Structure 1
Amino acid sequence: MVGKKLTSFLLTAALMSPLSAFAQGTTPAAGQASDKAVTQAADIILSNGTVYTVDRNRNWAQAVAIRGGEIVYVGSDEGAKKYIGTNTKVTDLKGEMVLPGFIDSHTHASKTTGLIFSIDLFDAKSMDEYVEVIQAFVKEHPAEKNFQGRGWSNPVAPGIGPLKEVLDKISADKPIALTSDDGHSLWVNSAALKLAGITKDTKNPEGGIIEHDKTGEPSGTLREKAMDLVLSKIGGYTAQQYKAGIEEYQHKAVERGVTTVRDPDMLRYPNVLEAYEGLAKENKLTIRFRNAITADPDKGPEQIAEFVKIRERNQNPLFQVNAVKIFMDGVVEGATAYLEKPYEHKHTNGELIWKPEVYKKTAAAADKAGFQLHVHSIGDASTRIVLDGMEYAEQQNGKHDARHSLVHLQLVNKTDIERFKKLGAVGIVQPFWFMQEEGYYDEIEVPYLGQERAETEYPMKSFLNQGVHIASSSDYIVTPEFNPLHGIQQGITRIEEGQTDAAKIANPEERATLADMIASFTIDGAYANHVDDITGSIEVGKKADIIVLDKNLFDIPATQIKDAAVVLTLVEGKEVYRLKEAK
């Protein structure tokens, strides 16, 4: 629990908002209603609630009426009575909070597959624990030709990363390939290196790094594009396995109130797209996906024509592909994020995965074809190059409502924040990371970046102050627990849970308000994914993507937000989750 002084400060700064329009004596637009005859009964009415609509005026209401999966009324309990018919299901919420369904604007939903069918290291915290988990999996799966997994953490093995010798002791003849928790490094054994033909003489591929030990031999860690040297040989999961993973993700999502997401892994891994298409045809999708296709830096603008065909054949209401994903740089913990000034410990600026001119032309081609750009950018130099490409696309194609997005934004030059607004670019951030995390901040971020840069990480309020749309996301499975309520809390406090030292608040000037954070997971998330016309707020005419919480977030301390529970989740008026009552 945060200390009394810090708690008081946080509450004063971020949480002193009106409890409701009704509490302030203001009625929200006298009750919104559709143009249809009010005598037509609703299918569902949620009454006696504390409804935060997140509409343009941030109105509050008491009741919501739903018909045919759409919202037909928002207003007072008295006004909702007109919509009650013989078959109307009326739920007395007894004051519980109602919000639009949460939107996770960057989440690797399909990677849940790996948690089911491969080695899961996310819960292990040391090299000894990694070895224990890997040994157990190898022993339990003797028929496997190779072993894959994910979840090891860079702070456990900083510098050149974990060594191949550790894995060689577990399996000397079968390849082992384990992706780091951030997805930007690969830990392999000697058999995997041999399979890929990697020796001490193998040159780094463009946009990648083969780490070496003191003898000059490959150490067993591959960064960024070097990962593909092994992964392309090992292969991946089947479409059926991906289906199972996506369905498991959906169960997790609705429990957390997540109703719309963007998975950016189409074409990056074989069979992911096929799995989504299959689930859509089989009517097994329960939440809305607006996914992105990963572009190949070696193929340039020519690949956009194929992306158009993929988009055209996927127009299911719950599954569409509307963006092109680009990896512009790597990550700080791997020293591959592309920085304006060199790293303190390596004296290099990191890795730029795309050639700027190829990126510009690809960005322009994607923009012309009506795709959003969805660009991974961690470093300040990378972000400038990304914005240059978006500006080039605008010059080539004219200004329009593109809503291109930059994802992560760990370091951003202040002068570039103004360019976001000018270009209409959207920032997609991960508030779950807004803290001086133990094992990362003092051990990696400060030594790698220097104190001054480390103290400016993960801006958010600066973007909001410039009028830039900021959408929040989890980057699951990089963030294993992706509950948006936790993200909302972290965006407000920016301090590690249980920490009471105010000096440990990460970049405190960037703290957002509760209203800011809710918007980033709802209406601004909808804006970022081009679905704000159908979801993101509780308004008449929009889809009934609605969640109910057991607590009013405006009534509790910021440090307790993550402990609120999702009671009910509706997607287009269909109940997809209800919290079981304790016996």
Structure 2
Amino acid sequence: MFAKKAASALLLASLLVPSIGHAAPAASGKSSVQPADLILQNGAVYTVDRNRNWAEAVVVKGDTIVFVGSTEDAKAYAGEKTKVVDLKGKMVLPGFIDSHTHASKTTGMIYTVDLFDLGSIEKYVEAVKQFAEKYPSEKAIQGRGWTNSAATGIGPRKEALDAISKDVPIALTSDDGHSLWVNSKALEIAGIGNDTPNPEGGLIERDPETGEASGTLREKAMDLVLKQIPGLSVEQYMNGILEYQKLAAERGVTTARDPDMLRYPNVLEAYQKLSEQDKLTVRFRNAFTADPEKGPEQVNDFIKLREANKGPHFQVNAVKIFMDGVVEGGTGYLEEPYKHKDTHGQLIWTPEAYKKTAAAADKAGFQLHVHSIGDAATRITLDGFEYAEKENGKRDARPSVVHLQLVNPKDIERFKKLGAVGIPQPYWFLKEPGFFEEIEVPYLGRERAEQEYPMKSLINAGVIMASGSDYIVTQEFNPLHGIQQGVTRIEEGKTDFKDIANPSERATLADMIASFTIDGAYSTYVEDITGSIEAGKRADLVVLDKNLFTIPASEINKTEILWTLFEGKEVYRSENFK
């Protein structure tokens, strides 16, 4: 028994104390000795270049890095107007890249009911009631953030919301964005009655005794209500995106992909206006959300819109496809049925319609960006990539699969063969209290629940893995939190080996940093301008108060981001950075 405990302790120690990098500093070619605008010197600069080199200094002129190397060599770039910052050993990383984030949904956090972290039906109802009293003239009450663990099975009931109002429609999106809790008025305006069939790719939850719509709608069934109530305005979305940029700067995020173009009215127009007004301080490479009812014909519209949006900070170069739902809603599409009910989940696209749409988007030069939770959904997703390649020929397509909660090991090699990029959310790599034992184990069975999120297996197979937060599903989207979870895969404060989520899938610190920098840049086709600290690239830089390679992995998320530069301009400075 003692030997087993000792072995576990040694293994956990190796998890929590990463090795220290000793790579020698590397100098990039000094093409000019013209005075620079900014010199960062005496730092621990982890370049994340091809050789993972370290340096001491970074020199910036305008929006571009012109030199990376030693502090002594950097002095040649100093002029009368050059600002010189002594980092005193602080760490410098490339600006972080969030490869899948719903930045525009920040708007809903401002203008609708915020239900995140309330945790119970009673608290949700009280929050909605207060909102209704504060805004009595609202034609519809909307909100987001309730969790499926507060009402497992068929989800929360309409009667709880009817007690607030039977005259004003109430529509509340779950924290994962895949379910909608509504009152009777919302069902009425959507025309949902006892005999209403489930829409293709959607599910109307029903009372098991009466068969009556119970108040929870899943996946495409959500649209039946959402299309009948007023959305948010262009100006509101603009304000939400601007607020997101403040949050992103505080977290060191300088590049992001928002996949919600065309899914909601006015989002695209908001980005367009901010781009025209030169108000974007995050480099957005977004995606159009494809509608399964429209098929490949919609790609022609995507092409026209892409050509109209080619600003340096806002472009739309991908097509987002929802292949399935989520495990907590019983709609993630699985090879073997769920344990709590006799279903494989919900496939939102028919395989044939998906393949044809994927091929059309690929032929038009779009990157495929596919939401896939279940192992069966991922298999079908890869089938579509394979079909597109067969139809159009092999190219630098970089099709991506987002989430990857369950993956059949046989499909891992297919990722590499097809040049597919994995975009996991390492923030979720833990046995989350109130979720793992309450939903994932009962719904999936313990064996499957213990095999989730195969990050390291994909990396070992040579697959590029670019991390994303899936904000606002993930409320705290600081990449340092994601990096820590990718390395430890354990709830903060816990140390027992049995509490680690799928421990064989823990990634190294270097791999996790790469997933939020250079690999994220690759996933959005911007690796030529950002993602690493190299001469000729944009000066997207983040200064940290500690070197991540010299602290326990369990303390990464306590590291402070002191300074964020986007293309050489300060977008965030901590009061602790003088």
Q: Which residue in the other structure is 1:367 paired with?
A: 362
Please tell me whether the aligned partners of residues 338 and 380 of structure 1 are also in contact (alpha carbons under 8 angstroms): yes
Cα deviation, residue 351, structure 1: 0.7
Equivalent residue pairs, number: 573
Q: Which residue in the other structure is 2:276 paired with?
A: 281
The TM-score with structure 1 as length reference comes to: 0.97
Runs of 4+ in 1 over 4 A off after TM superposition: 3-8
The Cα RMSD (Å) is: 1.4
Structure 1 residues 8 and 249: CA distance shift in structure 2, 3 A: farther
2:35 matches 1:33: no
Q: Which residue in the other structure is 2:191 paired with?
A: 197
Q: Which residue in the other structure is 1:54 paired with?
A: 48
Write the deviation string for residues 512-553 of structure 1: whole angstroms up to 9, x where unpaired: 011111000000000111111110000111111100000100
2:235 matches 1:233: no
Equivalent of 1:144, from 127, 138, 141?
Answer: 138
- What is the correspondence of 1:85-164 to structure 2 with a 5 Å cutoff? 85-164=79-158
AA at the equivalent of 2:89: G
2:563 matches 1:568: yes
Structure 1 residues 93 and 547: CA distance shift in structure 2, 3 A: same
Q: Percent identity?
A: 68
Q: Which residue in the other structure is 2:261 paired with?
A: 266
Give the match's secondary structure for 1:421: helix
Write the deviation string for residues 547-573 of structure 1: whole angstroms up to 9, x where unpaired: 000010011111100010110101111
Equivalent of 1:535, from 522, 530, 536?
Answer: 530
Q: Which residue in the other structure is 1:392 paired with?
A: 387
Write the deviation string for residues 290-319 of structure 1: whole angstroms up to 9, x where unpaired: 000000111111111111111111111100
Q: Distance in 2 between the 1:63 and 1:570 partners?
A: 15
Q: Distance in 1 between the 2:91 and 2:414 partners?
A: 37
Structure 1 residues 535 and 394: CA distance shift in structure 2, 3 A: same
Q: Distance in 1 between the 2:511 and 2:157 partners?
A: 43
Q: Distance in 1 between the 2:12 and 2:35 partners?
A: 45
Please tell me whether the aligned partners of residues 335 and 344 of structure 2 are also in contact (alpha carbons under 8 angstroms): yes
Please tell me whether the aligned partners of residues 33 and 540 of structure 1 are also in contact (alpha carbons under 8 angstroms): yes
AA at the equivalent of 2:47: T
Q: Distance in 2 between the 1:170 and 1:416 partners?
A: 48
Give the match's secondary structure for 2:402: strand
Please tell me whether the aligned partners of residues 15 and 487 of structure 2 are also in contact (alpha carbons under 8 angstroms): no
Please tell me whether the aligned partners of residues 14 and 514 of structure 1 are also in contact (alpha carbons under 8 angstroms): no
The TM-score with structure 2 as length reference comes to: 0.97
Q: Which residue in the other structure is 1:71 paired with?
A: 65
Please tell me whether the aligned partners of residues 18 and 550 of structure 2 are also in contact (alpha carbons under 8 angstroms): no
- What is the correspondence of 1:105-504 to structure 2 with a 5 Å cutoff? 105-213=99-207, 214-504=209-499
Structure 1 residues 8 and 95: CA distance shift in structure 2, 3 A: farther
Q: Distance in 2 between the 1:75 and 1:357 partners?
A: 53
Q: Distance in 1 between the 2:414 and 2:7 partners?
A: 37
Please tell me whether the aligned partners of residues 489 and 503 of structure 2 are also in contact (alpha carbons under 8 angstroms): yes
Cα deviation, residue 397, structure 1: 0.9
Please tell me whether the aligned partners of residues 11 and 558 of structure 1 are also in contact (alpha carbons under 8 angstroms): no
Give the match's secondary structure for 1:33: coil
Please tell me whether the aligned partners of residues 426 and 470 of structure 1 are also in contact (alpha carbons under 8 angstroms): yes
Q: Distance in 2 between the 1:470 and 1:326 partners?
A: 19
Cα deviation, residue 4, structure 1: 11
Write the deviation string for residues 251-275 of structure 1: whole angstroms up to 9, x where unpaired: 0000000000000000000000000
AA at the equivalent of 1:467: G
Give the match's secondary structure for 2:466: strand
Q: Distance in 2 between the 1:439 and 1:33 partners?
A: 53
Cα deviation, residue 7, structure 1: 7.4
Equivalent of 1:506, from 501, 506, 516?
Answer: 501
Give the match's secondary structure for 1:211: strand
Cα deviation, residue 68, structure 1: 1.8
Unaligned segments of structure 1, at least 5 residues: none
| More divergent stretch after superposition (383-392 vs 573-582) | 573-582
Please tell me whether the aligned partners of residues 12 and 497 of structure 2 are also in contact (alpha carbons under 8 angstroms): no
Q: Distance in 2 between the 1:485 and 1:10 partners?
A: 20
Please tell me whether the aligned partners of residues 18 and 509 of structure 2 are also in contact (alpha carbons under 8 angstroms): no
Q: Distance in 2 between the 1:555 and 1:6 partners?
A: 22
Q: Distance in 2 between the 1:559 and 1:514 partners?
A: 12
Q: Which residue in the other structure is 1:12 paired with?
A: 14
Please tell me whether the aligned partners of residues 11 and 557 of structure 1 are also in contact (alpha carbons under 8 angstroms): no
